[in-house]
């Protein structure tokens, strides 16, 4: 149903509003749908030549003023002063990226109503365009060209791998999270950076392959040993444990964290812990691995068994940087000393950087961290 307020616009400007929905995708380049924001009441957009597309039987689009506010409404979604009785709308800029705050996004933004006052915001764009923002979110564009190429191939593979997995759930609205749960995507920032563009172009369509798309996980710093996916998350996926001498110069090769005992117990109380006094912390390691599987927190009232990965999430991924740690405690403090940053599975970004600086090619870097995989041109 076309809103009554817009009908004169349709009559007098048919060529403007009924034109084809433009696309930046090449004929063989897959698209990707990335979750940008979840459960937000409203978002303000800025851009030139903004256009909204409505999910009519015959799709209709209208031009919008900028800036424009998009919010959840009782009957659907409100865009500016206009309310639409649809569960989702799509907005695109014909000339420039669309800005949300300081972040800019190529392609199309899609808004789904997920509650009475909440929206899910997605970015639908070409996979190769997505990689530009992805690389800037994961590593520095000033790093050597070969490590950027290795990161691009791994990220492209991971994106398609996750897309393939999520399509098995017919209710899934998107392919990837835009944060550390999948890959850190900052938008189109740095799209003019020559080193990143060259890496994307020179590896165009290349993926890692082993009986299908390889689960090409990556992380910041392994601390000297990568980990198998099964030990990190219990996933029975192809992966390798590799001794890595290259990441020693990483600023995250070794780290320390000190918390007050009170703060530590407070963080755990929302996750089943009872008791006022900490008596002991013991660790259980994975077989054949330096990383911890489980931490046992003993108080005056109970023993709490918690996965080491869950403990990282509760304390904060940026604070408890990996599951490779030792712990000491006193009545007043809990102190961690550990190695590496991240889950440890797949490519170690700081190790890959050192390999590139030592003259290794991106193919050699990928072969080192993903020994079973081969580089294959998919498109």
Band (pLDDT 50/70/90 cuts) for residue 91 is: very high
Residue 316: the pLDDT is: 96
Contact 198, 147 (CB under 8 A): no
Question: What are the backbone angles phi and psi of residue 55, rounded to the nearest 5°?
Answer: -80, 55
Looking at the fold, whether 10 and 79 belong to one and the same domain comes out as: yes
Residue 88: the pLDDT is: 93
Cβ neighbors of 57 (< 8 A, separation 6 or more) are none
Looking at the fold, whether 55 and 16 belong to one and the same domain comes out as: yes
Contact 137, 128 (CB under 8 A): no
Range of the domain at 325: 254-339
Sheet holding 278-285, edge to edge: 278-285, 292-299, 303-307
Looking at the fold, whether 52 and 145 belong to one and the same domain comes out as: no
Spatial distance between the Cα atoms of 111 and 91, rounded to a whole number of angstroms: 8
Residue 69 lies in a domain: yes
**Range list of H helices, the chain:** 7-12, 14-17, 127-138, 145-166, 194-202, 229-233, 261-269, 308-315, 349-357, 362-369
Residue 3: the pLDDT is: 41
> Is it the case that residue 16 has pLDDT exceeding 90?
no
Residue 305 lies in a domain: yes
Contact 175, 32 (CB under 8 A): yes
Residue 13: the pLDDT is: 33
> Is it the case that residue 238 has pLDDT exceeding 50?
yes
| Residue 234 falls in which region: left (phi positive, over 0), alpha (psi -120 to 50) or beta | left
Last residue of a domain, one of 85, 106, 126: 126
Looking at the fold, whether 139 and 155 belong to one and the same domain comes out as: yes
Biggest alpha carbon distance in the chain? Answer: 77
Looking at the fold, whether 10 and 114 belong to one and the same domain comes out as: yes
Spatial distance between the Cα atoms of 226 and 290, rounded to a whole number of angstroms: 10
Q: Which residue has the higher pLDDT, 324 or 8?
A: 324
Residue 9: the pLDDT is: 36
Contact 163, 118 (CB under 8 A): no
Q: What is the pLDDT averaged over residues 260-283?
A: 95
User: What is the token pair recorded at 310?
Assistant: 């869950």
Buried b (16+ CB within 10 A) or exposed e, 110-119: bbbbbeeebb
Mean pLDDT across the chain, nearest whole number? 89
User: What is the token pair recorded at 224?
Assistant: 């000297």
> Is it the case that residue 8 has pLDDT exceeding 50?
no
For 198-220, write each residue's pLDDT tens digit: 999 999 999 999 999 999 999 99
| Residue 12 falls in which region: left (phi positive, over 0), alpha (psi -120 to 50) or beta | alpha
Q: What is the pLDDT averaged over residues 119-131?
A: 95
Contact 354, 222 (CB under 8 A): no
How many C-beta neighbours within 10 Å does residue 217 have? 26
For 167-192, write each residue's pLDDT tens digit: 888 889 999 999 888 888 988 764 55
Looking at the fold, whether 324 and 259 belong to one and the same domain comes out as: yes
Residue closest to 103 by CA, chosen among 23, 172, 184: 184
Looking at the fold, whether 216 and 362 belong to one and the same domain comes out as: yes
Band (pLDDT 50/70/90 cuts) for residue 43 is: very high
Looking at the fold, whether 73 and 121 belong to one and the same domain comes out as: yes
Residue 312 lies in a domain: yes
Contact 211, 327 (CB under 8 A): no
Spatial distance between the Cα atoms of 241 and 230, rounded to a whole number of angstroms: 11
For 279-317, write each residue's pLDDT tens digit: 999 999 999 999 999 999 999 999 999 999 999 999 999
Residue 192: the pLDDT is: 56
Residue 191: the pLDDT is: 52
Contact 308, 285 (CB under 8 A): no
Looking at the fold, whether 108 and 38 belong to one and the same domain comes out as: yes
Residue 249 lies in a domain: no
Band (pLDDT 50/70/90 cuts) for residue 60 is: confident
Q: What is the pLDDT averaged over residues 52-81?
A: 89
pTM of the model: 0.86
Quote the number of domains for the chain.
Answer: 3
Q: What is the pLDDT averaged over residues 91-120?
A: 92
Residue 240 lies in a domain: no
Looking at the fold, whether 152 and 164 belong to one and the same domain comes out as: yes
Residue 11: the pLDDT is: 31
Looking at the fold, whether 210 and 263 belong to one and the same domain comes out as: no
Spatial distance between the Cα atoms of 278 and 262, rounded to a whole number of angstroms: 9
User: What is the token pair recorded at 358?
Assistant: 């030592």
Residue 75: the pLDDT is: 85
Range in 37-41, 162-166, 167-171 the model is least confident about: 167-171
Looking at the fold, whether 169 and 187 belong to one and the same domain comes out as: yes
Looking up tokens 């003259």 gives 359
């Amino acid at each position: 149903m076309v809103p009554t307020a817009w009908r004169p616009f349709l009559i007098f400007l048919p060529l403007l509003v009924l034109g084809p929905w433009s696309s930046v995708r090449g004929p063989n380049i897959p698209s990707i749908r990335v979750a940008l924001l979840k459960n937000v009441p409203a978002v303000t957009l800025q851009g030139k030549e903004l256009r909204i597309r409505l999910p009519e039987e015959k799709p209709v689009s209208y031009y919008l003023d900028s800036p424009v506010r998009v919010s959840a409404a009782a009957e659907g979604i409100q865009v500016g002063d206009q309310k639409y009785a649809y569960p989702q709308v799509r907005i695109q800029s014909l000339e420039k990226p669309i800005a949300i705050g300081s972040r800019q996004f190529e392609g199309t933004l899609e808004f789904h109503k997920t509650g009475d006052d909440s929206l899910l915001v997605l970015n639908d764009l070409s996979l190769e365009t997505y990689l530009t923002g992805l690389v800037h979110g994961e590593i520095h564009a000033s790093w050597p060209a070969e490590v950027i190429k290795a990161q691009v191939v791994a990220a492209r593979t991971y994106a398609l791998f996750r897309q393939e997995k999520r399509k098995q759930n017919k209710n899934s609205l998107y392919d990837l999270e835009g944060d550390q749960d999948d890959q850190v995507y900052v938008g189109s920032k740095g799209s003019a950076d020559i080193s990143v563009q060259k890496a994307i172009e020179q590896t165009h369509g290349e993926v890692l392959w082993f009986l299908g798309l390889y689960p090409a996980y990556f992380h910041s710093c392994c601390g000297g040993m990568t980990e198998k996916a099964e030990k990190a998350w219990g996933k029975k996926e192809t992966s390798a444990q590799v001794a890595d001498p290259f990441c020693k110069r990483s600023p995250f090769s070794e780290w320390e964290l000190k918390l007050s005992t009170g703060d530590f117990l407070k963080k755990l109380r929302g996750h089943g812990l009872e008791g006022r006094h900490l008596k002991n912390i013991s660790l259980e390691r994975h077989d054949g691995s330096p990383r911890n599987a489980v931490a046992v927190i003993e108080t005056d009232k109970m023993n709490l068994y918690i996965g080491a990965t869950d403990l990282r999430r509760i304390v904060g991924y940026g604070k408890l940087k990996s599951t490779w740690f030792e712990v000491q405690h006193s009545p007043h403090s809990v102190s961690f000393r550990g190695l590496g940053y991240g889950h440890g599975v797949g490519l170690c970004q700081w190790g890959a950087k050192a390999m590139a600086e030592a003259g290794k090619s991106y193919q050699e870097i990928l072969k080192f961290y993903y020994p079973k995989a081969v580089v294959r041109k998919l498109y």
